[in-house]
Structure 1
Amino acid sequence: MIADLDWASYVGFVGTACIIGAYAYLTYVEKPNPFVLHGVNLSGAALLTVSLMVHTNWPSLVLEGFWAAIAIFGLFKALRARKRRDTKPT
């Protein structure tokens, strides 16, 4: 039996696609842009979190929290690197 999907399930599928897409991007691109990589991962984690708030699965919700935290750390790290690069004397 296939259950009808609601809006939260569709949001979760989009979040899943974001995370899989970011991983594929990391795998296929020689020098991935960290803003794209971590931004898409953060978006995916946020969308999955929305879905999991409706259809609660605590282990998955905790996983998405860590996934989002790692993505945020990666974005801050990329911002720091860009700031250092931009202020570096040429």
Structure 2
Amino acid sequence: MNYNDIIGTIGVGLILIAYFLNIFSLIKKDGKFYFLLNILGASLACYASLLINYKPFIILEGTWAIVSIFGFFKVKRLKD
């Protein structure tokens, strides 16, 4: 397993962990932790996609990270 694979696996793993924790009601879908897992996971997966120059997933994961950032700040603003 090379560097790209490790980074991508960690990123996708974090996204999947967030999803499963949400599905089993272990974290809130509008909670900060959910968004942080998605931001970090999508950012790592986007970076791994950049390393292998795979544009469809650069777009997908980059968009996922940006949307999660907006969601995080929306939740943060509402709870503060």
TM-score, normalised with respect to structure 2: 0.89
Deviations 1:34-88 (A, max 9, x none): 11100000000111122111111111110011101110011011111111xxxxx
The answer to whether residue 53 in structure 2 is matched with residue 65 in structure 1 is no
RMSD between superposed Cα atoms in Å:
1.4
Unaligned 5+ residue runs, structure 2? Answer: none
The answer to whether residue 48 in structure 2 is matched with residue 48 in structure 1 is no
Confirm or deny: 8 A CA contact 2:46 2:61 kept in the other structure: yes
Q: 1:64 to 1:31 in 2, by over 3 A?
A: closer
**Letter of the 1:12 counterpart:** G
Q: How many pairs does the alignment contain?
A: 79
Confirm or deny: 8 A CA contact 2:21 2:27 kept in the other structure: no
Runs of 4+ in 1 over 3 A off after TM superposition: none
Aligned to 1:29, the other structure's residue is in SS state coil
TM-score, normalised with respect to structure 1: 0.80
Unaligned 5+ residue runs, structure 1? Answer: 84-90
Identity %: 27
Q: 1:6 to 1:37 in 2, by over 3 A?
A: same
1:26 maps to what in 2?
A: 22
Measured after TM superposition, the shift of residue 31 of structure 1 is: 5.7
Query: 1:30 and 1:65 mapped to 2: Cα distance?
Result: 26
Confirm or deny: 8 A CA contact 2:27 2:34 kept in the other structure: no
